[in-house]
Amino acid sequence: MKLKWLAIFVSALIVMVLVIGCSNDEKSNGSVSGTEEGKITLNFHHWYNEDAGNWTKVIEAYEKENPGVKINSQPLVENLNHDEYLKKLDLLASSGEQLDILMFSNQADFAKRVDAGLIAPIDSYVEEESLNLDEEYRSLPGKINGSYYALPGKSVTSLVLLNKDHLDAAGLPVPTDWTWDDYEEYAKKLTITEGDNKRYGTYFHTWPDTYLILKLMNKEKNTNIINEDDTSNMDDPMVKESLELRYRMEQVEQTAVPYAETLSQKLNYRQQFFTQAASMIPSGSWMVSEWGEFIPEFKIAWAPLPKNNKEDQPWTIIQGDVVSVAQNSEHKEEAYKFIRWFTTEGIMLQQKSLPSWIGADLNEVIDHLLANTAKPEAVDKESLIFTLENAVSAERGIPQSYISEAYDEYNAEAELYLLGEQDIETTMKNAKEKIQAIIDSNK
């Protein structure tokens, strides 16, 4: 595992030239945690700029309630790019920078840093509060080696966005309980192949851990290509069926944007949906308010992720940002107190995302989120509330530190299939062998 941390360090060095100036500026602005005028200073590293994070309001509120603590917000990037943030964070950690509070957008990247020894367990603080975390949070990160290492902040529910104007024109109701077979039929009826308003019924983006396993994501458990017990899940029929679903819709029925077009034109899910080039997109609940540069010219409806079978429960992936205490923090208890506050009261005050905190009033949260958008009336609130309230969280657990490597190999084989360069049997055989080799090399 030390070799993995060395690999992270080496890759981080690539961006050293970009970081040195930033790092020096941060240090000159007092980024080293400790005491300042009798106060404890906590460094909070993340990737959200002021506009996206509303940090001034949040931090002022916390410091008012806790006058002995100063929170030093450190957004390491301005472009909201989590991958770039991780490179800079790893470099800071490798150089011995004092860290206190760390945020991650997904559990795979979070698990890597736990594995590398960057993050401290929080069990003792949870026990001191006598907390039942399952009763506090919806998308709670699972334990790693028997310990908790983070609390969840923003909650992201996998769901489907639909252009309600297109639905109405096609005489289709907003789905409340549907299957992937229904999804295919909707896409057929929403696709227009002639005239000035040509469009596809749906668009599938490029993230392999989502759009290459769509039918794994709405199972009760074993929702990844590698199971929690470090065994391959590639023999699950839903893996193969996920690829076949996409190929059928993209190449045969021609109701989904072809993968070749997505790659060659560097298409983006926001662009495809908000320009009405596609009527439906499987995505996440961050899209309630995170529209990028777009302002919808239509009503956005929301639906659960389609089921594999009609009788199934509405299982879906519910995850999101997690917030942790750094292992080298000199003020771990104070750092924990902040992340506990931020993941409850603070995220409500922030008014930027759906919280994982069960104590939040969903109607109130959504009203605040929509009020901060450029066009609140564009969101069909009724279908959104229904979808979020009825979603049942699937068991995904903490992914292995090498899961991204496995998805890279799976993606390489799946691409050949989706581009028509390789049959499905060869694709599955090659992907299984490569993923098993990765598992074996990490035992």
Quick: pLDDT tens for 42-93: 999 999 999 889 999 999 999 999 999 999 999 999 988 899 999 999 999 9
* Cβ-contact 306, 160 below 8 angstroms: yes
Give the pLDDT band of residue 36 (cuts 50, 70, 90).
low
Give the pLDDT band of residue 2 (cuts 50, 70, 90).
very low
User: Does the model's pTM come out above 0.85?
Assistant: no
Q: What is the pLDDT of residue 286?
A: 92
Q: What is the pLDDT of residue 108?
A: 83
- Considering the domain 156-317+395-441 in this protein, what is its CATH number? 3.40.190.10
Give the pLDDT band of residue 107 (cuts 50, 70, 90).
confident
DSSP-assigned letters across all residues of 222-259: --SSB-TTS-B-TTSHHHHHHHHHHHIIIIIS--B--H
Q: What is the pLDDT of residue 142?
A: 83
Q: Would you give the end-to-end CA distance of the chain in angstroms? A: 10
For the chain, what are the domain ranges?
Answer: 2-155+322-360, 156-317+395-441
* CATH for the 2-155+322-360 domain, from 3.30.420.40, 3.90.1280.10, 3.40.50.2300, 3.40.190.10: 3.40.190.10
Among candidates 333, 153, 64, 29, which has minimal Cα distance to 56?
A: 64
Structure tokens at 129: 């509060």
The dihedral built from the CA positions of residue 409, 411, 417 and 419, taken in this order, carries a sign that is negative
**Fold agreement between 2-155+322-360 and 156-317+395-441:** yes
